[in-house]
């Protein structure tokens, strides 16, 4: 990531995005690691993206897990520790508020996230489509049972976690590089992206497929696409880039009716 500070987005662009959000009947939102950066959860591609000199792409793979499951579990344990200490930021909160606003008016709101940290749910978003799984859930490598118990013990016990049903080795319930997404979840995401009036793309570098294609699918289907990111990342599909941090910008995009009484939102 480059270190330059982008120009703050023009108030006119913020107003335009806010107006379109208030008018939209169907909104889809795609979030990536940058959404949680303001909560203190490091992104993979930022300056803090290395752990013990390993890159995420070397650890979040089925091959790495077969080779050295303890190393991969230790990395996830480190990440779970960071996430356990993190709280949803003002951007997560604003999306939960927006979901209620849109649904109360009879509109459709779909939150699609590449994040595995569970912070959207913690902020009150009701049904995020978690494309890449959830770091608090585990899956058995033998019988494939998924644990829905989000309280994986921290720190990692000396013995690697074993399945309560069959004793098999458990792995994080995460879609690793090279693995396929749950077809039902990705289909729901594609349906939402191609049926929305407006797609909000927040904090994703746009390099991990198939999430990276959702913006172009949405635009081709007629949606207006707005990106919130300090770096312009989501490619040519974007109509409007709001350069800045999610926790700063997203609350300012809430419709006027929701802004009244909210503290700390600067006028645009």
Catalytic hit among 4, 54, 92, 132? 132
Shortest Cβ 268–ligand NAD spacing (Å): 17
Q: Could you tell me which residues come within 8 angstroms of residue 76 by beta carbon, excluding any fewer than 6 positions away?
A: 135, 172, 174
Contact 89/116 with Cβ under 8 angstroms? no
Strand 50-51 with 54-55, pairing: antiparallel
Q: Which residue is nearest to ligand NAD (CB)?
A: 34
Nearer to ligand NAD, 125 or 229 (CB): 229
Nearer to ligand NAD, 131 or 163 (CB): 131
| DSSP label at residue 169 | B
Question: CB atoms < 10 A from the CB of 42, how many?
Answer: 17
Pure H helices in the chain: 11-23, 33-37, 56-59, 62-67, 69-84, 90-104, 119-123, 183-195, 214-220, 246-252, 256-259
On the CB side of 106, CA atoms within 13 Å amount to 0
Shortest Cβ 115–ligand NAD spacing (Å): 3
Nearer to ligand NAD, 134 or 147 (CB): 134
Binding site for ligand NAD (CB under 6 A): 1, 32-34, 36-38, 41, 43-45, 114-117, 132, 203-205, 207-208, 228-231, 233, 245-246
Shortest Cβ 170–ligand NAD spacing (Å): 19
Shortest Cβ 42–ligand NAD spacing (Å): 6
Q: Is 132 a catalytic residue?
A: yes
Nearer to ligand NAD, 43 or 147 (CB): 43
Which sequence positions are flagged as catalytic?
Answer: 132
């Amino acid at each position: 990531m480059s270190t330059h500070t982008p120009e703050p987005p023009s108030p006119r662009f913020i107003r335009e995005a806010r107006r379109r959000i208030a008018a939209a009947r169907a909104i889809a939102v795609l979030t990536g690691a940058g959404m949680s950066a303001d909560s203190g959860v490091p992104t993979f591609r930022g300056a803090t993206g290395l752990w013990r000199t390993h890159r995420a792409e070397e650890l979040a793979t089925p091959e790495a897990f077969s080779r050295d499951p303890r190393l991969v579990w230790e990395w996830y344990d480190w990440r779970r520790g960071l996430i356990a200490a993190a709280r949803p930021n003002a951007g997560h909160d604003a999306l939960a508020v927006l979901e209620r606003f849109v649904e109360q008016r009879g509109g459709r709101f779909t939150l699609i996230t590449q994040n595995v940290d569970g912070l959207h749910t913690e902020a009150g978003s009701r049904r995020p489509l978690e494309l890449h799984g959830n770091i608090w859930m585990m899956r058995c490598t033998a019988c494939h049972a998924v644990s829905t118990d989000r309280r994986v013990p921290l720190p990692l016990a000396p013995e690697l976690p074993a399945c309560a049903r069959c004793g098999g080795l458990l792995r994080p319930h995460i879609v690793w590089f090279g693995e396929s997404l749950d077809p039902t979840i990705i289909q729901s995401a594609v349906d939402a992206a191609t049926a929305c009036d407006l797609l909000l793309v927040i904090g994703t570098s746009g390099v991990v497929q198939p999430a990276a294609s959702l913006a172009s699918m949405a635009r081709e289907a007629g949606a207006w696409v707005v990106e919130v990111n300090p770096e312009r990342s989501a490619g040519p599909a974007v109509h409007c880039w709001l350069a800045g941090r999610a926790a700063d910008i997203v609350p300012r995009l809430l419709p006027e009716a929701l802004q009244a009484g909210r503290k700390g939102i600067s006028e645009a």
